[in-house]
Amino acid sequence: MGRTLDFFNYTKKALYLSKNKKFDEAIIYFSKALEIRNDAKTFYNLGLALFNLNKFEEAITNYDNCISINPDIKDAYHNKALALYNLKRYDEAISCYEFLANKYNEDRDKYNKIINGIKSEISI
């Protein structure tokens, strides 16, 4: 029971720190929580904290970990695509958005607009 409580306390502290834009500190607590339990949302939130510090490669790793545990967290794919875009890995970003467009029909138009925007931007 103690480790479960530790996991939740670390996660709660990390979320508080992230909300207050203290991303370096949040990363420490998300990492401590992940030492106790591999949790999709915690990997996702760690990815967000890293993304906010422009640590895009590390963010991608954590989004991938999130997706491997729970492939239904749509924002993990979207944020992974944004990180890839920021790294100028445009083809990979487009692939993520194409996946989202195919998986989530209700958002297909939104993702296709993003894809077309990237394609027009890189063809300039």
pTM attached to this predicted model: 0.93
Give me the pLDDT at residue 81, please.
Answer: 98
pLDDT-derived band at 4 (thresholds 50, 70, 90) equals confident
Q: State the Cα–Cα distance between residues 123 and 26, nearest whole angstrom.
A: 38
61-112 residue pLDDT tens: 999 999 999 999 999 999 999 999 999 999 999 999 999 999 999 999 999 9
Q: State the Cα–Cα distance between residues 8 and 102, nearest whole angstrom.
A: 35
Give me the pLDDT at residue 124, please.
Answer: 54
End-to-end CA distance of the chain: 57
30-66 residue pLDDT tens: 999 999 999 999 999 999 999 999 999 999 999 999 9
Q: State the Cα–Cα distance between residues 87 and 21, nearest whole angstrom.
A: 22
Q: State the Cα–Cα distance between residues 114 and 119, nearest whole angstrom.
A: 9
Does 123 have pLDDT greater than 90? no
Query: Could you tell me if 41 and 68 are in contact, meaning their C-beta atoms sit under 8 angstroms apart?
Result: no
Does 1 have pLDDT greater than 60? no
Q: State the Cα–Cα distance between residues 80 and 10, nearest whole angstrom.
A: 24
CA distances from 39 to 1, 64, 65 (A): 17, 12, 9
What the block records as the tokens of 63 is: 């989004």
Give me the pLDDT at residue 22, please.
Answer: 98
Q: Please state the length of the chain.
A: 124
Task: Spell out the domains of the chain, with CATH numbers in brackets.
Answer: 2-122 (1.25.40.10)
Average pLDDT for the chain: 96
